[in-house]
Amino acid sequence: MPRFSSVSLPFLVNQTQKQKHKLISSKNENTNTNPATNLPNQPNTKATNTNPATDDNKDEDVEKLLEPFTKDHLVALIKKGVSKHPDLIEIVRELTDADPSHRKIFIHGLGWDTTAETLTFVFGKYNEIEDCKAVTDHDSGKSKGYAFILFKQQSGAWKALKQPQKQIGNRTTPCSRPMATPISC
């Protein structure tokens, strides 16, 4: 499930608000009469605030509103936003593709003879690979039994993890997302 930073979520919300404003503005520009009265629309006489400091406060207000939300609430909110504004999915994809943690997978249980080339061959069918690190022993050069693969797009990692058990060499090896923080011993 994608994780959103405190910077990316307000950005997404701001994009939604801007697109909503565009829709409202374009509707107002295209209609010359009020459908209820069939009279010409009156120009908007309300003063608009173009103070950048107020825009910053809006971002802070959005952050404060979203702060108590759980991950499930935020996911539901974003899904609803995407359903109403389908072009927002591209923003979500851009954010996930920009963050390597969404594109990286961890493979363990590898044989001692596993190489980066072997892994690139096995995982290259899911999407283009940006980087492949088969971790090796410094002295012997043999595999330590685990590796990391970074795909160019998040969809590659997602496809690879659909079936987390892979046959690599003569072993069945599990794949997963790397842990966000190291385990304390």
Judge contact between 83 and 75, C-beta under 8 A.
no
Q: What domains does the chain contain, in order, with CATH numbers? A: 8-98 (no CATH), 100-176 (3.30.70.330)
Calculate mean pLDDT across residues 16-39: 48
Query: Mean pLDDT throughout 111-133?
Result: 95
| Unique residue bearing structure tokens 């207000």 | 61
Q: Report residue 179's pLDDT band, with 50, 70 and 90 as the boundaries.
A: confident
Q: Is the pLDDT of residue 26 over 90?
A: no
